[in-house]
């Protein structure tokens, strides 16, 4: 049995996926916590354990993501753009537009029928509109990341969030609270501001259905809803959207192993 | 600065000679005093080169100075100097870098600040700006400089070209623009005469106009040799070889330089000697000035098998026959026509393709002529002139030409503070993958 | 009877309260939470406790800082610029230039006999502020108070080229994982902050003596980096965090006494501490 | 015609301010052609003479830019971006056309973004030069004539010299009356607050010239009858300098502290109203001279002085006169980020005004209330400083 390992070492989280003959076998997710090298090893071990395998069973390892260059045991490195495209194509072959919301960057990617990226755009130079923005606000509100989505869905009147800066978002959140705004409404406001930034990227790459949201941000139901509202069209979300790029990396590895590419 | 710039290996010998050219231009300003010549702060692409050269005025180019500071990653101290006097970081960093240098030199009573790159530029005797269509800093920068060099006379002329309007024939407007440009050039001649105490030698001017036109033709002939597959020279080199056409126009040196480059490229083409051994992807540099502190990024493209056989940036000339200039014996009128037509000669073509624009039309022509598989734009935050409107160009290009891969990189020309090499390289990797997908689909 | 004046400085990160009579009789520092009003009360109560006073004993209360408008029991709001000037002047009378590095912004203030003559504030990103340092301390898992000390053992400061705090954080992480030493990284971050702050303050015609105030002044590494930029030693008051609150109390004192002398009384907000608590 | 002179002028100004463009929308429904324009360089006389209603476009400082960034780089000045965002969200969906004067790179370089995205029936880029010498005046006349021609083609009606001359008279009268209103700010305390004045200025730029004149006339009559409070002239008197500041938010931040905004050098304010068009035999001549030479915008290069001091005087001398006439204690120079024309002037303006003994606060910011909290501290500290 040919097993391929895909690793997505993101600035926020490290993700590992093991595929067996092109099918997802096991996966693991872990905060990167600054130590990309260590996180890569740990998340690999977790995924191996989950699959009851040892590293020797892996025929090929492909790494991607911000910290991928730290993965000294990878056979190949691929960009996260290509991995997102490959991963989403495997899950939803009809998807032509991918929105990836990661910890540091948000991306819009156009994918062709073969699962290749044809055009992409990122938010650059500014962390506004990225997952970091949300993390910071969540910290101020004293809630965990997992609670963001559900809580924001209970919002009744989203607070208009005008700051785009992830760092000043903090003080804006603080003053909104001081004005008596509810956490749910604040989160919904942040979602709205983020969604409009993200949708600007999508407008620029050109929205083509189907559209999927991936990355850790896709786990946030409130954000996904805001993106749908801003796009005025529904989006697809995988069960485990955060591992899409790792899955794509594993699939690329499997393909390379099959075609004997070095 | 602690971080050294990565040396880029140049593909052509001619490009390697450019450092000498730039250094020569700077030291000419310092030597001018001994030779009894006047030095003028000048700004590129203003159509004023022949007049300055005919009056023996030595141009001192702020853009060149700032570019050198940036390439040496040593601009920050000048930027900070300007910032300290309330020049915003969002203003053109060529301007703020140079103004910072000027402020410093004034503080030292006219002495060149220590460690100025390549000896720095001389304090000018005059400032010759042009409030032309190109950008606001072209006339605000001279004005702002005068705040520190209060005794230095400033001239600002105005050179416009008819705005692009798909619904309107620009030909009927050209005459107005030529008349105006000519009048403004005459104002410049008067200014130069006043401040040099010399009379314009009109025959000499006419000779220099001829020389410039010869150089324009040769420049384009040379650059068109890059159509060869593999291409013998790419944009990484062109960011060097643009120096003579940009800063040394109307000099024999510039002409001779391109003669040398022409011969070199012919030879390379005969031997099928490309920039890189295995040329996989051909890209067009669609717009934008480069990040001078990160020219190594061109090398990174090369390492990935990508070359740039053409670029829009610094292609500041055109074959004269293509401009179809009306005959005239007046050198100023000739310059004016050349200036106007350089911009408008794309208009007719653009009008033929619904939804197109001259800028995009030019990009499409280069894509086709140079067989490019993708387009890279660079958007520098401190210069609106070249960099505002890129999103629109990319959108129009995709709309009328199809899904060609496009990369828009964000950065600056001089200000390194928002540059991140790792991210930039990741971006380039992903882009190359899209180019690969595009090529696979087309074959 | 001695009069007491209170100053309360609601910063973006820290809330500071100072009570003065003839001299400083209490000073308290606490974190600023999302609910300014409640915390303002707590810090104030603590300060009153330390001074052994009741709220009614205090003659006049001035609030300052980022959250100054959210203090219902304050009689007047004055910006932290004016308060820092006043505070530093009482502590270090020779100072002509103040560099304040707070949690959310940095400022430069020129003063002449305790009066502000010009000032600048950072307006860009979080770069060049205390928040940047907090973020980095967090990332490196180093206590904030230890940053300065650790950085002093740096051999060669790392170059941090990103201005954006968020990206700079990742740059630091990246450098860390390529084996850069922590002291070098911290020193690099101090250098980056000092560079931004220096560029900002340089807009003023900087004159010695220079004092550094705010939370950033508690960081010896940053102070060293700043001294390098300014090319001269800088002064740091014994408790740099309370300068603004102290200034606020002193401004209150000055205004109140000035009014008394000219036969007027200043109107008070009328909101006691109790009411304020009910309010929040 | 709007009713005025019956004591509801201020209320009307308030209404046109808060529902910006509502009158133009009504006029459109009544069959008028509405031409939007950006910046003080829009030659309103010619649009009026064409029988159209010129509407100066503004954005909304309390609305975040949500759509515009998909089309326009963030290195474009925030004012232009915000107006563009408002336009593509449909705020100005009643426009028949637009004229974009060549004011600055932010406008020049986005001309095709605007025209392609909005796709209005009439579009014109008015290529105003940056230089003021003789050839430039000739050129300005040429491009004004071209503008006239395109308007004629669009409306199908000839624009006669008489019509232009009439429009010139009407706009001059409008300016004169506005100056009368400004004069009421000279008292201590001023009869009209800065916030009220801003609303009137904004309302005025959204109306056809006759209605604007009637409105300002009415407001002036109302305000003239106000009683000067016996006390209260304590706060410092402030002048605001900048380009397109068209919202009360920043003024309320100033006046909320007890200071008074008594004068401005804004492109929707005194810059517009302090210089008339001379009635020349060829009316286009007077218009060209006014827009190129008399209008003191940083987008024109002025190099007339023999010495630098003279040049400064030519560029900014009027501000010194305002400071004297309106007894200004401090000036706030408010410049938008990414604005080259104003940005490059900051050191010169600042030192020019300060050399006359008036302190200047320089602020660089967005066209947005989101950053106002941070600005407020600076404004308040400045006012505390000069108090
Ligand atoms: N359950 C969740 N709900 C909301 N947001 C989440 C959740 N899990 C992760 N995120 C967001 O996803 C981001 C991380 O996404 P990821 O795709 O792993 O980024 P990267 O690859 O850059 O590390 C975090 O910044 C966080 O904001
Ligand atoms: N003991 C300490 N050592 C180093 N830095 C400190 C210390 N205490 C506080 N700080 C810094 O001071 C900042 C808060 O400073 P402060 O002047 O109170 O700001 P603000 O008024 O905005 O709350 C924090 O961001 C932190 O960086
Ligand atoms: S605005 Fe905030 S998120 Fe954006 S670059 Fe600045 S610090 Fe970073
Ligand atoms: S074109 Fe751009 S880089 Fe060149 S001077 Fe103008 S603003 Fe500066
Ligand atoms: S603020 Fe500056 S950049 Fe913006 S429109 Fe006005 S002049 Fe142009």
What separation in angstroms does the CA of A94 have from each of A98, A206, A227, A251, C53?
Answer: 11, 16, 19, 17, 72
Residues D10-38 have a mean pLDDT of 95
C213-246 per-position pLDDT tens digit? 998 999 999 999 999 999 999 999 988 999 999 9
**pTM, full prediction:** 0.85
Neighbours of B223 (CB within 10 A): 24
Structure tokens at C213: 């105030």
Cα–Cα distance for residue pair A70/A75, rounded to 1 Å: 12
Span D229-386 CATH architecture: 3-Layer(aba) Sandwich (3.40)
R_g of chain A, CA atoms, integer Å: 18
Domains in chain B: how many in total? 1
d(CA D213, CA D173): 7
pLDDT computed for residue C267 by the predictor: 72
Distance B122 CA to ligand 4 centre (A): 21
Domain ranges of chain D: 11-163, 229-386
Report the C-alpha gap between A172 and A161 in whole angstroms: 8
Q: What is the DSSP letter of D356?
A: T
Q: Which DSSP string corresponds to C23-74?
A: SEEEEEEEE--S-HHHHHHHHHHHHHHHHT--GGGEEEEEEESTTGGG-TT-
- Report the residue from A193, A199, A201 with minimal CB separation from D64: A193
Q: Do D71 and B395 touch (CB under 8 A)?
A: yes
pLDDT at residue D2 in the model: 44
Residue contact D129–B388, C-beta within 8 A: no
Residues C122-126: what's their mean pLDDT?
63
Of the candidates B441, B379, D85, B359, the one whose C-alpha atom is nearest the C-alpha of residue A119 is: B441
Chain C residues lying within 8 Å of A159, measured CB to CB: none
Q: Is the CB of B385 under 6 A from ligand 4?
A: yes
CB neighbour class for A42 (10 Å; exposed up to 12, middle 13-18, buried from 19): middle
Residue B291 C-alpha to ligand 4 middle, in angstroms? 13
CA distance D352 to B143: 14
| Percentage of chain B lying above the pLDDT 70 cut | 98
- How far is it, in rounded angstroms, from Cα D149 to Cα D167? 17
Q: Is A36 on the interface with C (CB under 8 A)?
A: yes
> What CA–CA distance (Å, rounded) separates A175 from A160?
12
Say how many C-beta atoms besides its own lie within 10 A of residue D89's C-beta: 15
Ligand 3 atom nearest to CA at A133: 3
Does the beta-carbon distance from A82 to B430 stay under 8 Å?
A: yes
In a domain, C49, yes or no: yes
pLDDT at D233 over 90: no
How far apart CA C261 and CA A216 sit, in angstroms, is 65
Residue A1 has pLDDT above 90, yes or no: no
Asked whether the predicted pLDDT for residue A106 surpasses 90, the reply is: no
Count the neighbouring beta carbons within 10 Å of the beta carbon of residue B51: 26
Same domain, C145 and C266: no
Size of interface A-C (CB pairs under 8 A): 65
Q: What is the DSSP string of D101-153?
A: E--SHHHHTTHHHHHHHH--SEEEEE---SB-SHHHHHHHHHHHHHHHHHHHH
Q: Is B164 on the interface with D (CB under 8 A)?
A: yes
Domains of chain A: 1-92+243-262 (3.30.420.40), 94-237 (3.30.420.40)
Same domain, C75 and C125: no
The CATH number of whichever domain residue C8 belongs to comes to 3.30.420.40
- Is some CB atom of chain C closer than 8 A to the CB atom of B414? no
Residue C12 sits at φ, ψ, to 5 deg, of: -70, -25
Q: Does the pLDDT of residue A262 top 60, yes or no? A: no
pLDDT of residue C277: 45
Q: Name the average pLDDT for chain D.
A: 92
User: C123 and C201 in one domain?
Assistant: yes
Q: Would residue B354 count as lying in a domain?
A: yes
pLDDT at C167: 77
C88 within some domain: no
Looking at the fold, whether C212 and C169 belong to one and the same domain comes out as yes
Residue C157 sits in the same domain as residue C102: yes
Rounded-to-integer distance, Cα D308 and Cα B122, Å: 21
Pairing, β A117-122 against β A106-111:
antiparallel
What ligand has the least distance to the C-alpha of A31?
1
Which chain A residues have a beta carbon less than 8 Å from that of B412? none
> What is the C-alpha to C-alpha distance for residues A170 and A172, in angstroms, rounded to an integer?
5
Q: Which domain holds residue C14?
A: 4-83+242-275
Could you tell me if residue B141 is inside a domain?
Answer: yes
- % of chain D surpassing 70 pLDDT: 97
Do B384 and D340 make contact, defined as CB atoms within 8 angstroms?
yes
- Tell me, yes or no, whether C211 and C163 share the same domain: yes
- HEC string of chain A equals CCEEEEEEECCCEEEEEEEECCEEEEEEEEECCCCHHHHHHHHHHHHHHHHCCCHHHEEEEEEECCCHHHCCCCCEECCHHHHHHHHHHHHCCCCCEEEEECCCCEEEEEECCCCCEEEEEECCCCCCCCHHHHHHHHHHCCCCHHHHHHHHCCCCCCCCCCCCCHHHHHHHHHHHHHCCCCHHHHHHHHHHHHHHHHHHHHHHHCCCCCEEEECHHHHCHHHHHHHHHHHCCCCEECCCHHHHHHHHHHHHHHHHHHHCCC
Alpha helices in D237-362 (DSSP H): 249-255, 270-273, 283-289, 308-325, 340-343, 346-355
Q: Inter-chain contact A81–B437, Cβ cutoff 8 Å?
A: no
Return the pLDDT at C34: 58
Chains interfacing with A (3 or more CB pairs < 8 Å): B, C, D
List of chain A residues whose C-beta atoms are within 8 Å of the C-beta of residue D371? 163
Q: What percent of chain D has pLDDT over 90?
A: 81
CA distance to partner chain A, nearest, from residue C196 (Å): 17
Across the interface, whether the CB atoms of B143 and D301 are under 8 A apart is answered yes
Nearest Cα neighbor of A192 from A151, A227, A150, A152 is: A227
How far apart CA C101 and CA C223 sit, in angstroms, is: 11
The pLDDT of residue D120 is above 60: yes
- Report the 3 state secondary structure along chain B: CCCCCCCCCCCCHHHHCHHHHHHHHHHHHHHCCCCCCEEEEECCCCCCHHHHHHCCEEEEEHHHHHHHHHHCCCCHHHHHHHHHCCCCCCCCHHHHHHHHHHHHHHHCCCCCCCCCHHHCCCCCCEEEEECCCCCCHHHHHHHHHHCCCCCCCEEEECCCCCCCCCCCCCHHHHHHHHHHHHHHHHHHHHHHHHHHCCCCCHHHHHHHHHHHHHHHHHHHHHHHHHHCCCCCCCHHHHHHHCHHHHHCCCCHHHHHHHHHHHHHHHHHHHCCCCCCCCCCEEEEEEECCCCHHHCHHHHHHHHCCEEEEEECCCCCCCCHHHHCCCCCCCHHHHHHHHHHHHHHCCHHHHHHCCCCCHHHHHHHHHHHHCCCCEEEEEEECCCHHHHCCHHHHHHHHHHHHCCCCEEEEEECCCCHHHCCHHHHHHHHHHHHHHHHHHHHHHC
Q: Above 60 in pLDDT, residue D4?
A: no
- pLDDT bin (cut points 50, 70, 90) of residue C37 is low
| Exposed/middle/buried for residue B212 (C-beta within 10 Å: 0-12, 13-18, 19+) | buried
Q: For residue D104, which ligand has an atom nearest its CA?
A: 5
Taking only the tens place, the pLDDT of each residue in D46-80 is: 999 999 999 999 999 988 888 888 889 889 999 99
Amino acid A33: pLDDT:
74
Residue C168: pLDDT band (50, 70, 90) is: confident
User: What pLDDT score does D230 carry?
Assistant: 66
Distance between Cα A74 and ligand 3 center (Å): 33
pLDDT confidence bin for C125, thresholds 50/70/90: low
Nearest neighbour of C161 by CB, restricted to B83, B85, B420: B420
In the predicted structure, residue C124 carries a pLDDT above the cut 80: no
| Preferred mutation among D67, D69, D249 to probe A, highest tally of A CBs within 10 A | D69
**Chain C neighbours among B 76-95 (CB < 8 Å)?**
80, 83-86, 89
- For residue D105, how far is its CA from the centre of ligand 5 (angstroms)? 8
Evaluate whether C73 touches C269 at the Cβ level (below 8 Å): yes
* Distance from C-alpha of C99 to C-alpha of C197, rounded to nearest angstrom: 8
Is the CB of residue A129 below 6 angstroms from any atom belonging to ligand 3? no
Mean pLDDT of D231-238: 78
Q: Is D368's Cβ below 8 Å from some Cβ in A?
A: yes
Q: Atom 2 of ligand 5 has which residue's CA nearest to it? A: D339
| pLDDT value of residue B133 | 79
User: Is the pLDDT assigned to residue A88 strictly greater than 90?
Assistant: yes
Spacing, Cα B260 to ligand 4 middle (Å): 30
Is A177 in contact with C35 (Cβ distance < 8 A)? yes
Instruction: Determine how many CB atoms are found less than 10 A away from the CB of residue A170.
Output: 23
Q: How many domains does chain C have?
A: 2
pLDDT above 90 covers what percent of chain B?
72
Distance C136 CA to ligand 3 centre (A): 15
Instruction: Inspect the interface and report whether the beta carbons of D135 and B382 lie closer than 8 Å.
Output: no
Both C136 and C167 in a single domain?
yes
Which atom number of ligand 2 is nearest to the Cα of residue C131? 25
**Cβ distance of D67 and A200 shorter than 8 Å:** yes
Question: B436 in a domain, yes or no?
Answer: yes
For the residues C189-205, what does the mean pLDDT come to? 86
> Quick one: C70 and C98 in the same domain?
no
Range in B24-28, C178-182, C207-211, D277-281 with the lowest mean pLDDT: C178-182
Q: Quick one: closest CA in D to A205, which residue?
A: D70
For residue C237, being part of any structural domain is answered with: no
Given a contact cutoff of 8 angstroms between Cβ atoms, the answer to whether D376 and C120 are in contact is: no
- Average pLDDT over chain A reads 86
pLDDT of residue C279: 37
- Give the number of other CB atoms < 10 A from CB of residue B262: 17
Bridge partners (DSSP) of residue B437 are none
How far, in Å, from the CA of C269 to the mean position of ligand 2? 30
**Which of A106, A145, A148, A151 has most ligand 1 atoms within 8 Å of CB, for mutation?**
A145
Segments in chain B below pLDDT 50? 1-6
Looking only at the bridges linking them, the beta strands covering B57-61 and B154-157 are: unpaired
Contacts of A34 in chain C (CB under 8 A): 139-141, 173, 176-177
C-beta of residue C126 within 8 angstroms of C-beta of residue A165: yes
Query: D226 or D344, which is more confident?
Result: D344
> Residue B302 corresponds to which tokens in the numbers above?
């090369």
Q: What is the largest CA-CA distance in chain B?
A: 66
Count of Cβ atoms closer than 10 Å to residue B417 Cβ: 18
Nearest CA of chain D to the CA of A9: how many Å?
29
Which atom from ligand 5 is nearest to the alpha carbon of D267? Answer: 6
A16–chain C nearest CA distance, Å: 19
Q: Give the SS3 label for residue C8.
A: strand
CB C81 within 8 A of CB C68: no
CA distance A191 to D138: 54
In this structure, are residues D81 and D74 in contact, taking their beta carbons and an 8 Å threshold? Answer: yes
Work out how many CB contacts closer than 8 A connect A with B.
53
Ligand 3 pocket mutation, candidates C123, C164, C170, C171, criterion most atoms within 8 A of CB? C164
In a domain, C182, yes or no: yes
Identify any residues that bridge with D98 across adjacent strands, giving them in sequence order.
D36, D123
Interatomic CA distance for residues A156 and B77, integer angstroms: 51
Q: For D11-163, which CATH class?
A: alpha beta
In short, whether C220's Cβ falls inside 6 Å of ligand 3 is no
Q: Which domain holds residue B411?
A: 13-442
List, as ranges, residues 119-158 from B with C-beta within 8 Å of D: 129, 131, 133, 135-137, 139-141, 143-144, 146-147, 150-151, 154-158
Which ranges in D194-278 belong to alpha helices (H)? 194-204, 209-224, 249-255, 270-273
On chain A, the residues whose CB falls within 8 A of the CB of C177 are 34-37, 67, 70
In a mutational test of the pocket of ligand 4, which residue from B92, B133, B290, B291 has the highest number of ligand atoms less than 8 Å from its CB? B92
ipTM: 0.81
pLDDT of amino acid D306: 80
Classify the C-alpha dihedral D44-D47-D50-D55 as positive or negative.
negative
d(Cα D149, Cα D141) in Å, to the nearest integer?
12
């Amino acid at each position: 049995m040919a097993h391929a390992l895909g690793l997505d070492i993101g600035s926020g989280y490290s993700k590992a996926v093991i595929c067996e003959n092109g099918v997802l076998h096991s996966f693991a997710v872990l905060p990167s916590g600054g130590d990309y090298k260590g996180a890569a090893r740990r998340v690999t071990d977790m995924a191996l354990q989950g699959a009851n395998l040892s590293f020797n069973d892996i025929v090929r390892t492909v790494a991607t993501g911000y910290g991928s260059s730290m993965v000294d045991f990878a056979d190949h490195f691929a960009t996260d753009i290509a991995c997102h495209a490959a991963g989403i194509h495997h899950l939803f072959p009809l998807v032509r537009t991918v929105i990836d919301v990661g910890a540091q960057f948000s991306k819009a990617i156009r994918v062709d029928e073969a699962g290749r990226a044809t055009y992409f755009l990122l938010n650059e130079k500014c962390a506004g509109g990225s997952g970091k923005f949300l993390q910071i606000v969540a910290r101020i509100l004293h809630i965990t990341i997992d609670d963001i989505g559900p809580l924001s869905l209970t919002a009744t009147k989203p607070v208009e969030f005008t700051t785009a800066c992830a760092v000043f978002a903090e003080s804006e959140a603080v003053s909104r609270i001081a004005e008596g705004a509810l956490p749910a409404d604040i989160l919904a406001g942040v979602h709205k501001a983020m969604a409009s930034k993200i949708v600007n990227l999508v407008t620029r790459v050109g929205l083509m259905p189907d559209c999927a949201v991936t990355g850790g941000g896709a786990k946030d139901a409130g954000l996904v809803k805001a993106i749908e509202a801003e796009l005025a069209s529904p989006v697809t979300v995988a069960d485990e959207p955060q591992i899409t790029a790792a899955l794509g990396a594993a699939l690329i590895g499997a393909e390379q192993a099959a075609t004997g590419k070095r | 600065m602690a971080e050294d710039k990565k040396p880029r290996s140049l593909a052509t010998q001619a490009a390697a000679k450019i450092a000498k050219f730039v250094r020569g231009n700077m030291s000419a300003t310092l030597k001018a005093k001994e030779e009894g010549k006047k030095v003028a702060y000048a700004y590129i692409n203003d159509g004023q080169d022949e007049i300055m050269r005919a009056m023996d005025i030595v141009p001192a180019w702020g853009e060149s100075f700032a570019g050198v500071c940036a390439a040496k990653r040593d601009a920050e101290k000048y930027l900070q100097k300007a910032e300290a006097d309330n020049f915003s970081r969002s203003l053109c960093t060529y301007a703020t870098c140079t103004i910072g240098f000027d402020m410093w030199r004034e503080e030292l009573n006219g002495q060149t600040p220590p460690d100025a790159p390549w000896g720095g530029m001389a304090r000018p005797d005059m400032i010759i700006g042009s409030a032309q269509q190109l950008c606001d800093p072209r006339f605000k920068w001279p004005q702002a400089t005068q705040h520190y060099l209060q005794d230095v006379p400033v001239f600002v002329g105005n050179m416009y070209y008819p705005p692009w309007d798909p619904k309107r024939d620009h030909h009927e407007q050209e005459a107005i623009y030529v008349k105006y440009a000519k009048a403004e050039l005459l104002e410049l001649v008067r200014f130069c005469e006043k401040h040099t105490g010399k009379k314009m030698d009109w025959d000499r001017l006419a000779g220099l106009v001829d020389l410039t036109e010869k150089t324009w033709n040769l420049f384009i002939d040379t650059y068109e040799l890059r159509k060869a597959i593999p291409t013998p020279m790419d944009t990484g080199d062109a960011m060097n070889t643009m120096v003579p056409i940009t800063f040394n126009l109307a000099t024999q040196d510039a002409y001779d330089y391109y003669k040398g480059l022409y011969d070199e490229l012919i030879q390379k083409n005969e031997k099928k000697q490309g920039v890189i051994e295995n040329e996989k992807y051909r890209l067009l540099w669609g717009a934008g000035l480069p990040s001078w502190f990160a020219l190594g990024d061109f090398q990174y493209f090369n390492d990935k098998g990508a070359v740039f056989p053409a670029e829009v940036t610094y292609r500041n000339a055109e074959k004269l026959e293509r401009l179809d200039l009306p005959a005239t014996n007046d050198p100023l009128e000739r310059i004016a026509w050349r200036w106007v037509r350089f911009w408008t000669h794309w208009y007719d073509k653009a009008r033929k393709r619904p939804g197109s624009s001259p800028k995009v039309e030019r990009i499409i022509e280069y894509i086709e002529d140079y067989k490019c598989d993708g387009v890279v734009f660079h958007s520098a935050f401190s210069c609106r002139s070249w960099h505002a409107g890129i999103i629109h160009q990319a959108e129009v290009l995709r709309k009328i030409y199809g899904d060609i891969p496009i990369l828009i990189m964000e950065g600056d020309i001089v200000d390194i503070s928002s540059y991140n090499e790792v991210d930039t390289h990741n971006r380039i990797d992903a882009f190359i993958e899209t180019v690969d997908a595009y090529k696979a689909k087309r074959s | 009877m001695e009069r007491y004046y209170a100053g309360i400085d609601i910063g973006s990160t820290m809330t500071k309260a100072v009570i003065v009579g003839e001299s400083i009789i209490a000073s308290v520092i606490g974190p600023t939470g999302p609910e300014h009003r409640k915390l303002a009360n707590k810090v104030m109560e603590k300060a009153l406790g330390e001074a052994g006073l009741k709220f009614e004993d205090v003659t006049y209360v001035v609030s300052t800082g980022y959250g100054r408008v959210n203090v219902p029991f304050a009689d007047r709001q004055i910006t932290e610029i004016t308060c820092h000037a006043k505070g530093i002047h009482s502590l270090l009378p020779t100072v002509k230039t103040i560099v304040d590095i707070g949690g959310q912004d940095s400022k430069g203030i020129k003063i002449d006999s305790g009066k502000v003559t010009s000032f600048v504030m950072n307006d860009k990103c979080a770069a060049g502020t205390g928040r940047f340092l907090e973020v980095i301390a967090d990332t490196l898992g180093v206590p904030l108070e230890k940053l300065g000390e650790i950085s002093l053992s740096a051999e060669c400061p790392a170059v941090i080229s990103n201005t954006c705090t968020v990206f700079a954080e990742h740059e630091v992480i990246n450098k860390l994982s390529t084996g850069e030493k922590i002291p070098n990284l911290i020193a690099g971050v101090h250098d980056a902050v000092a560079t931004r702050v220096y560029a900002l303050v340089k807009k003023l015609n900087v004159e010695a003596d220079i004092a550094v105030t705010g939370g950033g002044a508690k960081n010896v590494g940053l102070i060293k980096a700043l001294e390098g930029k300014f090319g001269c030693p800088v002064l740091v008051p014994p408790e740099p965090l309370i300068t603004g609150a102290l200034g606020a109390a002193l401004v209150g004192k000055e205004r109140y006494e000035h009014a008394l002398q000219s036969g007027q009384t200043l109107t008070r907000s009328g909101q006691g501490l109790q009411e304020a608590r009910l309010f929040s | 015609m709007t009713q005025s002179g019956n004591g509801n002028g201020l209320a009307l100004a308030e209404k046109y301010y808060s529902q910006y463009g509502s009158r133009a929308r009504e006029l459109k429904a009544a069959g008028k052609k509405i031409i939007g324009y950006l910046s003080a360089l829009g030659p309103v006389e010619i649009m009026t003479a064409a029988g159209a209603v010129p509407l100066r476009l503004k954005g909304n400082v309390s609305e975040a830019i949500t759509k515009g960034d998909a089309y326009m780089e963030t290195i474009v000045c925030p004012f232009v971006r915000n107006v563009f965002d408002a336009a593509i969200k449909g705020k100005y969906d009643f426009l028949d056309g637009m004229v974009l004067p060549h004011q600055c790179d932010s406008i020049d370089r986005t001309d095709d973004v605007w025209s392609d995205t909005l796709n209005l029936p009439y579009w014109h880029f008015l290529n105003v030069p940056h230089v003021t010498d003789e050839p430039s005046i000739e050129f300005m006349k040429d491009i004004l004539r071209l503008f006239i021609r395109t308007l004629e083609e669009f409306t199908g009606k000839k624009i006669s010299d008489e019509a232009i001359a009439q429009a010139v008279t009407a706009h001059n009268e409008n300016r004169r009356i506005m100056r009368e209103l400004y004069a009421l700010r000279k008292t201590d305390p001023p009869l009209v607050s800065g916030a009220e004045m801003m609303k009137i200025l904004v309302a005025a730029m959204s109306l056809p010239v006759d209605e604007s004149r009637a409105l300002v006339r009415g407001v002036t009559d109302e305000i003239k009858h106000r009683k000067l409070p016996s006390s209260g002239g304590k706060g410092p008197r402030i002048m605001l300098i900048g380009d397109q500041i068209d919202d009360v938010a920043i003024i309320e931040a100033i006046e909320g502290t007890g200071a008074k905004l008594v004068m401005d050098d804004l492109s929707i304010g005194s810059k517009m109203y302090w210089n008339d068009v001379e009635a020349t035999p060829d009316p286009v001549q007077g218009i060209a001279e006014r827009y190129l030479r008399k209008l003191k915008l940083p987008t024109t290069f002025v190099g007339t002085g023999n010495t630098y001091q003279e040049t400064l005087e030519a560029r900014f001398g009027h501000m010194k006169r305002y400071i004297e006439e309106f007894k200004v204690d401090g000036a706030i120079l408010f410049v938008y980020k990414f604005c080259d024309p104003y940005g490059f002037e900051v050191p010169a303006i600042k030192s020019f005004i300060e050399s006359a003994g008036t302190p200047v606060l320089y602020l660089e910011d967005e066209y947005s209330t989101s950053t106002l909290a941070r600005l407020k501290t600076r404004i308040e500290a400045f006012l505390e400083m000069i108090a």
